[in-house]
Structure 1
Amino acid sequence: MEIYNKLIKKEAKLAVIGLGYVGMPIAISFAKQIDTIGYDYNPKKVELYKEGVDPTKEVGDDAIKETDLEFTNDPAKLKEACFLIVSVPTPINHDKTPDLTPVTSATRTIGQNLSKGSIVVYESTVYPGVTEDVCIPILEEESGLTHGVDFVVGYSPERINPGDKVHTLETITKIVSSSIPEYLDEIGKVYEIVVKAGVHKAPSIKVAEAAKVVENSQRDINIAFMNELALAFDRMGIDSKDVIDAMNTKWNALGFTPGLVGGHCIGVDPYYFVYQAENLGYHSQIISNGRQINDGMGEFIADKLIKELIRTGKTPIDSNVVILGLTFKEHTPDTRNSKVNDIIKRLREYDIKPTIVDPWASAEDAQAEYGVSLTDLADVKDADAILLAVGHDEFKALSFEEITALFNQDLANDKRIILDVKSILNKKAFTDAGYSFWRL
C-alpha cells in the first residue's frame, strides 16, 4: 500500500477537486489526518474559504478557520497530489438528460496535471459506465499517460446528506471500487483514514456507479408513491398526514412522507439511470413515472393556493402571498434545483408576485438562479396567504401568535390561508381558530 503509507507519513498529498457541499467536508476531514489540497476552479469561492467563511454551512466557519487544508484555484497544485478525489456536481440539462460538463471539465484539468503513479477517485454521481468509458480516455488524452500502467481510477459515490449533522462522512459506510482490482484495498484503506464506519468494496466501478443512482431512485419512487396518495386524498377530502400517522403505527411502515423533491441528488440521479437504460433499449416505467409525479408537485401546490384564494373571495393578482422557504431542503443554504421555484413560477403565471423568506438561503444565489429577492421575516406583514415550503427550525419555532401577526389584521380568520407543505404547524390550533388551513 504505497500511496496509503506515503499519505500517512505525510510524504505525499491528497487533493479534493470541487469544494462544494460534498467536497468541502471530505477535504476538511482528510486535512485533519494528512496533507490535503482543496482545489476549486472558482476563485471567489476559494477566497471565501481563505477568509474563513463557509458558504455551504456544512462544516462551519470555525472549521474553515482552523483547518490545515490548502485552498487553491491553481490547477498546477494538483501535480503535488498522488491521490485525487473528484467531487463536482452532475446536473441535468433542460431536457432532463445528464450534463457531464462539470465532470469532463474537471477530468481535463486533472489530466493536464496528473502525476505518474497516481490514483484518481470519482465521487460525482454518474450513470454506470461514465468513469471508465468517458473519464479514463480523457485522462489518458490530456496526460499522455496510460491507464493501468501509469495511473489507476476508482469510484466511490458520495453519500453525504447536506444539512444532516448526524449522518456524516465519518458515520456512513463508504462504497469503494477500482478499475484495477489490485488497487481496491489501497483505495479502501485511504478512505478508512477518515470514514470510521468502514468501507464496502464493490466488485466493479459500474456496480458502485449503479448503487448510487439506485439509492436515490429508490427514495424518489417511495416519495412519489406518497405524493400520488396525497393527490388522491386531496380529492377525497382526507388529510394525508392523518393517514400516514395511522399507517406508521405498524412496525414495518417505511416512514416516507409527501413533499417537494428537489436538490442535486434525489431530484436528479434518477434521470441518469433512465438516460442510460434508454440508451440500451430499455424504457424505464416506474422510475420515469415517479419522476413525473414528483416534478409536478410544485404546480399542484401552487394551483391549490390559487383555488384557496378564490374560494375565500380574494383576487389572486391582488393577493399578498408569503412563501416561507426557498432552499431545496431544510437546514442548508443550497437552492440548486429547488422545487419551491416551481411554485413561484406557477404563481407568476397568474401575475402573483410572492414574498419569499428564507434565513438560510443566499440572497445572491436566489437572485441569480431564480430572479427572487429575499425578504426578512421581520418585514413580513399584511399577508393574505402563507405557504410553508421548507421545514427550517426557524419556521418550526414560530408560535400561533407569531404566524397570526404575519397576516393582514383586517382579515377575518376564515379568510386567512395557510398551506403547510411540510406539516410543521399545529393544524388543530389553526382550524379551531377558523383559519383556512391545508397541508400536503
Structure 2
Amino acid sequence: MEIFERIRTKKDFLAVVGLGYVGLPVAVAFAEKVKTLGVDINQEKIDIYKKGIDPTNEIGDEEIQRTTLEFTSDPTRLKEAKVIIVAVPTPVNGDKTPNLAPIINASKMIGENLSQGTIVVFESTVYPGVTEDICAPILEKESGLLCGEDFKIGYSPERINPGDRVHTLKNIQKIVAGMDEETLEIIAAVYELIIHAGVYKAPSIKVAEATKLAENAQRDINIAFMNELAMAFDRMGINTKEVIDAMNTKWNALGFYPGLVGGHCIGVDPYYFIYQAEMLGYHSQIIAAGRTVNDNMAIFVTDNIIKKMIQSNINVKKSNIYIMGITFKENCPDMRNSKAVDVCKHLATYGIKVNVVDPIADKTEFRQEFDMELVDIKDVRNADCLVFLVAHQQFKNLRTTDLRKLFKQPRLQTKYVFIDIKNIFDQKAIEEEGYSYWSL
C-alpha cells in the first residue's frame, strides 16, 4: 500500500486523463483530497478550464475556480503520477462497431510517459478484454516496461449520470477491479478517498468491464419495451403515460418511460456488447432488438409531427416549427449522439426547416456543428408547431400563458400543434387552449 500512502500524503501525483463529462468531476473530486493532475490533449478545453469556466455544467464555474486541480495538456507531466485514471470517450463507428481509437491513443500517450511502479486504471466503457488484451500491451510497448512487474493495471467503470444533481459521483457506489489482489486493494483505497457510498470489489477486470455494459444494456432494453408499448398504444388511441401511471401502482413495476435514447452511454454501450458477443459466435437477440427499437424512435416521432400538422390543416413545408431541446438529455449540454438531432435531420429530409431552442446547449458548439444559430426562447414567435423533445427545467417552468405567446394567433379550421415527447405538460390543459397535443 506504499503507493496509496504516497498519494494520500500528497508526496506523489494522481492524474486523470480525459477531462470531459466523466473525467472532470473525477479529477476535481480527487483534487480535494490529493495532488491531482488533469490531463487533456485539447488545449482549448484546458484554457477554458483555467479561466474558471465549466462548459459541461457537471461541476459549475465556482467549483472550477476553487479547485486545486492542475490543468495541463502536457503529457510528460504523467511521469510525475503514480496512479493514472483514464476517462476518455469510447464511441462507436458509423457501422455501430466500437471505436477504440481514443482509448488506444490515450494508452500510447500514457505508455510514452509511464513511470515504474505506476498503476493505470481505466474508466472508459469497453467490452470485456480491452483493458488486459489491448491497452496493457500498448502500455508495455510504448514504455518498455512489463505489466505486472513494472506497472499494474485496473478497471473501474464510470457511473456518472450527466446532468443528475442527486446521483452524483460521490454517492454512487464505485466498482473497482485490479489485475491482482494487491492492486485491487490499492485502487479500492484510492477511490474510497472520494466515494462516500463506498466501493464494490469486482473479482476480475473482465467482470468489471462486463458490468458496465450489462447496466446500460438493461436500461436500454427497458426503455425499448416502453417505446414499443408507446408505438402500439398510439395506434390503439391509448395514452401511454396513463397506462404507465396505472401500472406503476404495483410494487414491482420498474418505473421506466418511453423516450429518445441517445447520448454516449445507453445509446452506445450495448453495441460494445453486441460486437464482442458476435466476435465469439453469439448473435445478440434481445439487446440488438432493443437497440433497433430505440434507434428508430426518432423516425416515429418525426412521422407523427408531420401527421399531426397535416391533420391540423397546416402547410408543413411553409410552417414555423420550433424544436425545444437539442441535447441528448435534460439539464445537460451534451449533444453527442442526441436523438433530438436525428429528429431535426429526419424533418430536413422532407424539406422542412426547423428552428432550435435550447437554453442548455453551447451556442458556439451548436453553430459549428449545424451551421445555424440557436434561438432564444424569448424570441420564439408565431409558431405553428412546438416540439418539446428534452425536459430541461427551463421548459418545465413554462406556464400556459407563456406557451400561448409562442404560437400564432388562433385561426379558423387550424389547430396549432403541441408535441410533448417527455410529457412535461398537462395534456388536458394544453388541449383546452385549443392546441392539437401528442406525446409518447
Query: Taking structure 2 as the reference length, what is the TM-score of the superposition?
Result: 0.99
Deviation at 1:180, TM superposition (A): 2.2
Q: Report the counterpart of residue 42 of structure 2 in structure 1.
A: 42
Conserved in 2, the CA contact under 8 Å of 1:327 and 1:336?
yes
Q: Report the counterpart of residue 123 of structure 1 in structure 2.
A: 123
Conserved in 1, the CA contact under 8 Å of 2:314 and 2:414?
no
Q: Report the counterpart of residue 203 of structure 2 in structure 1.
A: 203
Matched residues in 2 for 1:19 and 1:159: separation?
A: 15
Deviation at 1:166, TM superposition (A): 1.1
- SS for the counterpart of 1:91 is coil
Paired letter, 2:45: K
Matched residues in 1 for 2:63 and 2:108: separation?
A: 30
Q: Report the counterpart of residue 133 of structure 2 in structure 1.
A: 133
Q: Report the counterpart of residue 263 of structure 1 in structure 2.
A: 263
Conserved in 2, the CA contact under 8 Å of 1:127 and 1:209?
yes
Conserved in 1, the CA contact under 8 Å of 2:13 and 2:82?
yes
Matched residues in 2 for 1:283 and 1:411: separation?
A: 54
Matched residues in 1 for 2:118 and 2:147: separation?
A: 10
Q: Report the counterpart of residue 176 of structure 1 in structure 2.
A: 176
Conserved in 1, the CA contact under 8 Å of 2:326 and 2:390?
yes
After superposition, residues 73-152 of structure 1 pair within 5 angstroms as 73-152=73-152
- SS for the counterpart of 1:418 is strand
Matched residues in 1 for 2:75 and 2:228: separation?
A: 47
Q: Report the counterpart of residue 224 of structure 1 in structure 2.
A: 224
Deviation at 1:296, TM superposition (A): 0.5
Conserved in 2, the CA contact under 8 Å of 1:136 and 1:153?
yes
Paired letter, 1:428: K
Matched residues in 2 for 1:399 and 1:111: separation?
A: 55
Aligned-CA RMSD value: 1.0
Deviation at 1:316, TM superposition (A): 1.1
Deviation at 1:409, TM superposition (A): 1.2
Matched residues in 2 for 1:435 and 1:287: separation?
A: 38
Q: Report the counterpart of residue 377 of structure 2 in structure 1.
A: 377
1:304 matched to 2:304? The reply is yes
Deviation at 1:363, TM superposition (A): 1.5
Flag structure 2 segments of 5+ consecutive residues without an equivalent. Answer: none
Matched residues in 1 for 2:78 and 2:411: separation?
A: 62
- SS for the counterpart of 1:415 is coil
- SS for the counterpart of 1:213 is helix
Equivalent pairs counted in the alignment come to 440
Paired letter, 1:98: P
Matched residues in 1 for 2:327 and 2:315: separation?
A: 28
Q: Which deviates more from structure 2 when the two are superposed, residues 237-246 or residues 306-315?
A: 306-315
Matched residues in 2 for 1:416 and 1:151: separation?
A: 64
Deviation at 1:414, TM superposition (A): 5.2
Matched residues in 1 for 2:143 and 2:60: separation?
A: 36
**Which string of whole-angstrom CA distances, capped at 9 and with x for unpartnered residues, describes residues 87-122 of structure 1?**
010100010000001100111100000000000000
Q: Report the counterpart of residue 328 of structure 1 in structure 2.
A: 328
Q: Report the counterpart of residue 368 of structure 1 in structure 2.
A: 368
Conserved in 2, the CA contact under 8 Å of 1:413 and 1:435?
no
1:22 matched to 2:28? The reply is no
Matched residues in 1 for 2:379 and 2:88: separation?
A: 37
Paired letter, 2:43: P
- Of all paired residues, the percent bearing the same amino acid is 57
Q: Which deviates more from structure 2 when the two are superposed, residues 210-219 or residues 424-433?
A: 424-433
Q: Report the counterpart of residue 32 of structure 2 in structure 1.
A: 32
Cα distance change, pair 330–133 in 1 and its aligned pair in 2 (3 A): same
Q: Report the counterpart of residue 425 of structure 1 in structure 2.
A: 425
Q: Report the counterpart of residue 278 of structure 1 in structure 2.
A: 278
Flag structure 1 segments of 5+ consecutive residues without an equivalent. Answer: none
Deviation at 1:367, TM superposition (A): 2.8
Matched residues in 2 for 1:98 and 1:3: separation?
A: 33
Matched residues in 1 for 2:338 and 2:297: separation?
A: 12
Matched residues in 2 for 1:372 and 1:192: separation?
A: 45
Q: Report the counterpart of residue 338 of structure 2 in structure 1.
A: 338
Query: Taking structure 1 as the reference length, what is the TM-score of the superposition?
Result: 0.99
Paired letter, 1:343: V
Deviation at 1:372, TM superposition (A): 4.4
